[in-house]
Every structure is written in structure tokens, then in C-alpha cells.
Amino acid sequence: MQAQFFAIHRPDVIDERFDEEYVIVNLRTGTYYSLNATGARIWDCLNAGASRAAILQEMERRYDAPPGMLEQHLETLLKEMEREQLIVAENKDASSASATGTTFEGERIGFVPPHMEKYTDMQALLLLDPIHQVDDTGWPSIKPNVP
């Protein structure tokens, strides 16, 4: 049986977690994004290789909200991430499904819809950054002294 997965569009997309939020950069477009805490939890699941169904199950365990509402907000965020070329949809065998990487137990918390903010103010700088010209030695690359 096939399951829907979403792969992060690496190496074009990089991310960094800051407390309960993520900053995500699309190096191809120079656009960067921030995710609130709920969006960050979804991004964690994507990083862990979870299927769409596993992400929804994680949300149902964690958040106090009707399942239909959770699914609607998850679907909206995933479509937005696809449009922004941060993730790409894949259909794989359901046996490939990964756990979400969580062991969340306890009281469910109030649901705050996932939100992704888009920033284009630094596109020119991000597209000019020399990190785009990295080879296998990394960046910065220090050349050996040659006499």
C-alpha cells in the first residue's frame, strides 16, 4: 500500500531550529521563512521522514483540536511548503513509514494553527553569498600555501 511522504528539498533548503521555531532558507530562491511552534513540530516530523498520515497522528496525540481541523491545517501548510519548493511529495510503500521521532505523552495542549511567514527582503544578499560555491572541502575553503 502506498503512503504519501514529503522530502525536504535538500541541498537547496537548509534549516535551523531556535527554541520553538524554525528558520528555513531556500538557497535557490534566496527566500527565507519562519515557522511557529506548531509548524516547527511538523517540520521536525518531515525531517524524521514521517509520512503525511504519521504527522497527522502526531498532531492528534499532541493537540487538543478536532481531527478534521488538524488535517485541514496540516494540508494547508504542506501545500504552501510545496509551492515554495521547500518540500516535494513522494509516494512510497507504507512499510517505509517512519515514526515521528516523538514519545509525546501526557495532556494534549491547545492547538495553535501552524504558520509559515515568508521573507524576501534578503534575496539579493542570499543569492550572492559565496556559500553557494562550496566544494567538498566546505566553506570557507582555505587554500594551502604553494611556494
pLDDT of res. 21: 94
Tell me the mean pLDDT in the region 15-25.
94
- Dihedral through CA 75, CA 25, CA 115, CA 21, nearest 10? 120
SS (H, E, C) 80-141: HHHHCCCEEEEEEEHHHCECCCCCCCCCCEECCCCCEEEECCCHHHHHHCHHHHCECCECCC
Mean pLDDT of the chain: 84
pLDDT of res. 82: 97
pLDDT tens-digit readout, 102-147: 555 678 999 999 999 999 887 767 666 555 555 555 554 455 555 5
Helix (H, G, I), strand (E, B) or coil at 30: coil
pLDDT of res. 2: 73
**Cell triple for 27:** 538557497
Which of 30, 109, 14 has the alpha carbon at shortest distance from 65?
Answer: 109
3-class SS shares of the chain: helix, strand, coil, % to 5: 35, 30, 35
Check pLDDT > 60 for residue 97: no
Whether this model's pTM surpasses 0.95? no
